[in-house]
């Protein structure tokens, strides 16, 4: 059975207007942490250490996670939080 490397989803955030004052703000990439709670995968953006203890599993945003099994990959895609583009075969 193949294993995969997971790259967590990201969101590009930047200025919301065209006014000259907005030119001082830079575009930023924010990452999401994937959590497993109650058998369902979901996304959160700013987890605390206290919250992470409560989840069955988590994959921190901004990181590459290796050793993801086919079952985990299928469950994440089925829950609609990632696509197959987030995974590469190891």
Q: Which tens digit of pLDDT belongs to each residue from 6-63?
A: 999 998 877 766 777 776 777 778 899 999 999 999 999 989 999 999 999 999 998 9
Residues in the chain: 90
The reported pTM is: 0.82
Task: State CA 67 to chain mean position distance.
Answer: 16
Contact 6, 87 (CB under 8 A): yes
- Is 69 within 8 Å of 57 (Cβ atoms)? no
């Amino acid at each position: 059975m193949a294993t995969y490397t997971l790259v967590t989803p990201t969101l590009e955030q930047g200025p919301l207007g065209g006014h000259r004052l907005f030119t001082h703000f830079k575009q930023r990439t924010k990452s999401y942490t994937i959590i497993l709670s109650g058998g369902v995968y979901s996304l959160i953006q700013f987890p605390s250490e206290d919250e992470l203890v409560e989840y069955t599993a988590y994959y921190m945003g901004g990181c590459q996670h290796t050793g993801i099994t086919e079952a985990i990959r299928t469950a994440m895609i089925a829950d609609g939080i990632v696509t197959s583009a987030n995974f590469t075969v190891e």
